[in-house]
Every structure is written in structure tokens, then in C-alpha cells.
Amino acid sequence: MSAQKKTPLPAILLANALLDGDVVFRTASGWSRDPREALVAEDEATANRLLDEARAAFARNEVVDADLVDITRDEAGVPVPNHFRERFKVKGPSHRPDLGKQAEFGVR
């Protein structure tokens, strides 16, 4: 059995809400559709706490596919995933920049 790969820090926790499938972000107080509100794990303790919260939310049937993703911050301090797949999830429909999170929250 191989060791679990550690996500580079800083990182955020994103998942899919079970009821509507929308991408949600773990905040200091719950889940939000707004990526600007995501709690950023700067250390292992916070990252582990986020993963524990993801497991608990999964057990309560709130979210699925929760994953820590490494980020950088844009000029406004907003967390931006480093990998294309997660950036795509954050933005929403790429062919319609007037729709989805990219329009609603100004995500680039």
C-alpha cells in the first residue's frame, strides 16, 4: 500500500454539494458557493481539520468528492487553484463567461 499523497500548501477544500451537485468551498463556518470565502489551509493542522470536516460532511450526506487543492492567491488575495481541472470547477461554464461563478463572484 502506498502512502497518501500530501497536497502542497496553501490549499482549499472543495467538494460537490450532494443535493444540487454545485461546487462548494469549505469556509471557517460551513460551506459556500463563493470561492472567495474558502478557508485557506496554510499549515498541516488546518489541512487535516479541513479533511476531517469533509469526512463528517460526507457522512451527513452533505457533500461528495471533497478534495484539498493547492492554490495561489491572485492580486486581490482570492485563492486560485493551481491545476486546470480545479480552476474549471471554480469558474463554472467556460463558454459563457456571463454565467456561473465567474460571472456571479467575479472569478477569473
Q: What is the pLDDT of residue 85?
A: 84
7: left (phi over 0), alpha (psi -120 to 50) or beta: beta
Q: Distance between CA atoms of 92 and 44, rounded to whole angstroms?
A: 29
6 occurs within a structural domain: no
38 occurs within a structural domain: yes
3 occurs within a structural domain: no
pLDDT of residue 78 exceeding 60, the answer is: yes
Q: Distance between CA atoms of 24 and 13, rounded to whole angstroms?
A: 9
Note the Cα 42 to chain centre separation in Å.
Answer: 14
Q: What is the pLDDT of residues 11-51, one digit of tens each?
A: 999 999 999 888 999 999 999 999 899 999 999 999 999 99
pLDDT of residue 107 exceeding 90, the answer is: no
Q: Report DSSP state, residue 39.
A: P
Q: What is the pLDDT of residue 30?
A: 95
5 occurs within a structural domain: no
1 occurs within a structural domain: no
